[in-house]
Amino acid sequence: MNPYISLIRQRSFWIPILVLALFDLCLQTGVYRPYLKKGSFAANVIRNTDYVLEKKAEFEPTILLLGTSVAHQGLSLKTLNETLEPYGEKIQSIAMEGTELVVQDALVRNLLPKFPKVHTVLHILEISTPWVDQEDLQIHTLAMLGELDRRLAFPLIYEFNYNVRYDDLGFLAFKSIAYRRDIRDFILDPSKRLKDIGRRKKEPKLTPWPHENTNLPSISMFPEVKDIKSCLKITNPGNGTPAPAGSDQFHKKAIWDTCGLGEKTPVKVERTKQVNNYFHRLKILHNDIRQVGLENGQKIKIIGVIAPYSEIIKNWRSPDRNRIWEEEIGKIDPTTPLLDYQASLDGENNGDYYYDLIHLNKTGMEKFSAIFSADLPSILGLVRKK
């Protein structure tokens, strides 16, 4: 008899498979979701999506803010809503850390149908992203897609032209695979996790939007950092140098990480396969926004906003890069404005505004939000109602 057939006929072969299947089915019910590690991508997407839906009864938006951590950290919803209040408009954020366009699309298709009053989407864009766009699915992208509508995730990863591997499909299909690291950490230190969950439940929910940047450290705390080369040397976590007063090792590493990204981002601008794929993905996202809008009875206007970056990576800015952006946005929809705020925080105090090379700190958020909100009524063509 074939040894494989003999093996599968044994009861002992099927017992562990049945246990694993039952364990995964248990996880599929969502029973473990409240225990996901705080700050993980999966936990973040659950917290933020649940929060904006929970607040819908008291705060139903007419405008949505979409983007990555650059939007999540860089714009104050408090400031924007104070500006928009006299015009009878409300803005809510579904911007989240680490969200590639495929995750933003999944967020739109999950949340936008529930907000039928939305007539405008402010899409915060990053000038360098097309040149570093991912061809392979990253763990954080799979983690976030897995916590949204997985029935949607499977076709999306193909539609967005990813190199899909069998383990990617397994990550989306089986929670026991998706949660394996999280469960391992929970088993190793359950008391810490339970304390974190207790603190999380006690956190006051004072605003109708999910986040407001509170980061105080800045790049200017590292005055020797003048360019990418000096940044990588001075902020290297392995150099043994303590972080200066007001900073810490997490901040130091965040600067180092973004300097590493700056080193990898090409300064020479060309239309590569990555660039073409990025704008293919952006077209899908913008088309889906408009399609959901029509289903809601709204002709949604999309406004693209190029966010500011630290002057340390000023060489990312170039007429050729701007031209490619303008041409590609025009191909997607010529009515979509592309607003350029790359230089909005330039000047001698530039380092005071940035937590790292890409993300604003609290001071920078307040400064940029004041600049952007002053322009917002005219950008949206609003008429004061109060």
**CA 151, CA 153: separation in Å to the nearest integer?**
6
Tell me: do 19 and 49 sit in the same domain: no
What pLDDT is stored for residue 198 in this prediction? 73
Strand order in the sheet with 120-125: 91-93, 63-66, 120-125, 301-306, 338-340
Query: Would 73 be classed as within a structural domain?
Result: yes
How many domains, the chain? 2
Contacts of residue 172, Cβ cutoff 8 Å, sequence gap at least 6: 142, 145, 146, 150, 153, 154, 157, 178
Tell me: do 11 and 76 sit in the same domain: no
Query: Would 248 be classed as within a structural domain?
Result: no
Boundaries of domain holding 21: 1-31
Instruction: Give the pLDDT mean for 135-158.
Output: 94
Query: Would 330 be classed as within a structural domain?
Result: yes
Least confident of 8-17, 24-33, 129-138, 267-276: 8-17
Query: Would 253 be classed as within a structural domain?
Result: no
Tell me: do 114 and 13 sit in the same domain: no
Query: Would 243 be classed as within a structural domain?
Result: no
Query: Would 254 be classed as within a structural domain?
Result: no
Tell me: do 84 and 138 sit in the same domain: yes
Q: How confident is the model at residue 21 (pLDDT cuts 50, 70, 90)?
A: confident
CB atoms within 10 A of CB 133: 21
Tell me: do 77 and 1 sit in the same domain: no
pLDDT above 70 for 133: yes
CATH number of the structural domain spanning residue 57: 3.40.50.1110
Tell me: do 305 and 322 sit in the same domain: yes
Tell me: do 276 and 309 sit in the same domain: yes
Tell me: do 21 and 106 sit in the same domain: no
Q: How confident is the model at residue 152 (pLDDT cuts 50, 70, 90)?
A: very high
Tell me: do 19 and 46 sit in the same domain: no
Q: How confident is the model at residue 214 (pLDDT cuts 50, 70, 90)?
A: very high
Percent of the chain with pLDDT over 90: 74
Query: Would 165 be classed as within a structural domain?
Result: yes
Instruction: Give the pLDDT mean for 316-342.
Output: 95
Predicted confidence (pLDDT) per residue in 248-275, tens digit: 999 999 999 999 999 989 888 899 999 9
Per the document, the length of the chain is: 386
What pLDDT is stored for residue 380 in this prediction? 93
Predicted confidence (pLDDT) per residue in 164-212, tens digit: 999 999 999 999 889 888 888 888 888 887 777 777 766 677 789 999 9
Tell me: do 22 and 72 sit in the same domain: no
Tell me: do 170 and 305 sit in the same domain: yes
pLDDT above 80 for 371: yes
What pLDDT is stored for residue 2 in this prediction? 61
**Between residues 24 and 86, the one the model is more confident about:** 86
The phi-psi region of residue 230 (left if phi > 0; otherwise alpha if psi is between -120 and 50; otherwise beta) is: alpha
Tell me: do 141 and 11 sit in the same domain: no
What pLDDT is stored for residue 374 in this prediction? 95
> First CA to last CA across the chain, in angstroms?
85
pLDDT above 60 for 334: yes
**Between residues 2 and 332, the one the model is more confident about:** 332
Predicted confidence (pLDDT) per residue in 351-362, tens digit: 999 999 999 999
pLDDT above 70 for 299: yes
Instruction: Give the pLDDT mean for 290-301.
Output: 97
Q: What is the DSSP letter of 205?
A: -
What pLDDT is stored for residue 3 in this prediction? 66
